């Protein structure tokens, strides 16, 4: 009887060491998962766990959803527990798609739909200056530049708007679906009302997994059902990851994570879809770069490079990757000189819009 009790105790301990439920979520041991998947624990402190194998390095911050996958910050759906447990959902929807890549498909990326955020009566973010800087103008200018660079590489590019017009949110992914686009990329620029001098850098969003809350939803929305976009969420995550990586590395920008959201423009997209927040208009330094055509040229080149890196991993060989020029520092890094031979001529000057609009951002 005593031996049976000891055996039962050992079995219960083994199970509890491998799995647990925290706030209704299934968690498993990071060390057990690493051994089962060919990783080694190279550092294990109270605040951080680092795993490596021959090709990947994973960094998990305990009691936090912040993780780093091969040098790129990725926001997990749930925090890693201090007891070195990670949610099963994050392993399946964040780690696996980025570390254990699927076999490339036979379909080549041909058509890309660009979605310049806002437009018309929807100005997006508005930042005062010599004249009001409206987000809608800079997203359209970036879209034109990105379109020109993609076309030079042979892609078919469609835009959800070609002028300062208002397009309903549901219509934007509908345009991509109707044209059988292979990728959908929504372009935006961010703003912050707090700590404007320090908050800077790009964020790249893809659809939130079923059973999780969006990154900025403060835990709400975890009971949201599946959307059309969830059918290709692994590819959307990989696209978001490659573009965030390219933006951070090529623009030497602050990494503000690959994040999750159920934005209206993402939910109904039938193809891999992402939303790029290209930087903060409210940051004094980054804002001036966003307003500069030469810097937007470099941002477009970085996005192109991310798309090409994504294509190399998911589909047949693509055109040659363009060279992204290093920014030329002038006037304390606020003026940028474009040297990219693949880039088109600078877009036409932005219109000076002195009207005062409300700033709705209905993207949730």
The domain that contains 84 carries what CATH number? 3.30.457.10
Residue 329 has pLDDT above 60, yes or no: no
On whether both 156 and 287 belong to a single domain, the answer is: yes
Domain that holds residue 226: 111-314
Residue 326 inside a domain? The answer is no
pLDDT at residue number 104: 84
Residue pLDDT, tens place only, 121-180: 999 999 987 789 999 999 999 999 999 999 999 999 999 999 999 999 999 999 999 999
Query: Model's pTM, two decimal places?
Result: 0.83
On whether both 65 and 147 belong to a single domain, the answer is: no
**CB neighbourhood size of 188 (10 A):** 27
Residue 351 inside a domain? The answer is no
On whether both 88 and 116 belong to a single domain, the answer is: no
CA angle 120, 118, 73 (to 5 degrees): 165
On whether both 154 and 254 belong to a single domain, the answer is: yes
Residue 82 inside a domain? The answer is yes
Residue 318 has pLDDT above 70, yes or no: no
Residue 340 has pLDDT above 60, yes or no: no
The domain that contains 269 carries what CATH number? 3.40.630.40
On whether both 95 and 122 belong to a single domain, the answer is: no
Domain boundary among 296, 314, 332: 314
Residue pLDDT, tens place only, 233-273: 999 999 999 999 999 999 999 999 999 999 999 999 999 99
User: Backbone phi, then psi, for 162, in 5-degree steps?
Assistant: -115, 0
On whether both 174 and 55 belong to a single domain, the answer is: no
Helices (H) and strands (E) in the chain, counts: 10, 16
On whether both 49 and 192 belong to a single domain, the answer is: no
On whether both 138 and 195 belong to a single domain, the answer is: yes
Residue 7 inside a domain? The answer is no
Residue pLDDT, tens place only, 37-82: 999 999 999 999 999 999 999 999 999 999 999 999 999 999 999 9
CA-CA distances (angstroms) from residue 236 to 58, 261, 279?
20, 12, 20
Which band of pLDDT confidence, cut at 50, 70 and 90, is reported for residue 219? low
CA nearest to 160, candidates 146, 173, 142: 173
Domain tally for the chain? 2
Residue 212 inside a domain? The answer is yes
Report the DSSP pairing between strands 273-280 and 203-207: antiparallel
Tell me if residue 237 falls in helix, strand or coil.
Answer: helix
On whether both 285 and 248 belong to a single domain, the answer is: yes
CA nearest to 99, candidates 72, 78, 80, 81: 72
On whether both 239 and 164 belong to a single domain, the answer is: yes
In this structure, is the dihedral angle defined by the CA atoms of residues 122, 127, 133 and 137, taken in order, positive or negative?
A: negative
Tell me if residue 229 falls in helix, strand or coil.
Answer: helix
Q: How far apart are the C-alpha atoms of 282 and 279, rounded to whole Å?
A: 9
**CB neighbourhood size of 73 (10 A):** 20
Mean pLDDT, rounded, of the chain: 85
Residue 127 inside a domain? The answer is yes
Tell me if residue 78 falls in helix, strand or coil.
Answer: strand
């Amino acid at each position: 009887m005593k031996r049976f009790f000891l055996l039962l105790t050992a079995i219960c301990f083994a199970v509890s060491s491998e799995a647990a439920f925290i706030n209704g979520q299934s968690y498993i041991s990071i060390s057990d998962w690493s051994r089962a998947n060919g990783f080694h624990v190279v550092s294990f402190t109270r605040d951080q766990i680092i795993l490596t194998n021959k090709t990947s390095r994973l960094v998990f911050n305990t009691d936090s959803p912040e993780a780093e996958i091969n040098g790129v910050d990725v926001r997990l759906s749930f925090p890693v527990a201090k007891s070195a447990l990670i949610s099963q959902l994050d392993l399946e929807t964040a780690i696996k798609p980025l570390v254990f890549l699927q076999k490339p498909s036979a379909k080549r990326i041909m058509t890309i739909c660009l979605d310049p955020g806002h437009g018309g009566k929807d100005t997006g973010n508005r930042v005062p200056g010599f004249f009001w800087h409206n987000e809608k103008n800079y997203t359209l200018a970036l879209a034109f530049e990105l379109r020109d660079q993609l076309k030079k590489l042979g892609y078919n590019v469609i835009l959800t708007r070609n002028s300062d017009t208002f397009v309903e949110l549901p219509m934007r992914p509908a345009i991509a679906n109707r044209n059988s686009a292979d990728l959908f990329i929504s372009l935006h620029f961010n703003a912050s009302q707090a700590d404007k001098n320090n908050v800077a850098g790009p964020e790249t969003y893809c659809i939130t997994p079923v059973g999780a809350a969006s990154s900025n939803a403060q835990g709400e929305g975890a009971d949201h059902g599946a959307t059309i976009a969830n059918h290709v969420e692994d590819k959307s995550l990989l696209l978001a990851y490659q573009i965030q990586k390219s933006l951070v590395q090529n623009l030497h920008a602050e990494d503000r994570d690959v994040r999750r959201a159920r934005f209206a423009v993402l939910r109904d997209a039938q193809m891999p879809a992402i939303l790029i927040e290209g930087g903060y208009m409210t940051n004094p330094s980054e804002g001036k770069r966003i307003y500069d055509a030469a810097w937007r040229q470099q941002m477009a080149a970085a996005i192109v490079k991310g798309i090409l890196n994504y294509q190399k991993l998911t589909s047949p060989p693509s055109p040659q990757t363009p060279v992204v020029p290093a920014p030329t520092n002038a006037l304390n890094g606020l003026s940028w000189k474009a040297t990219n031979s693949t880039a088109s001529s600078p877009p036409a000057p932005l219109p000076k819009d002195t009207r005062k609009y409300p700033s709705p951002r209905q993207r949730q």
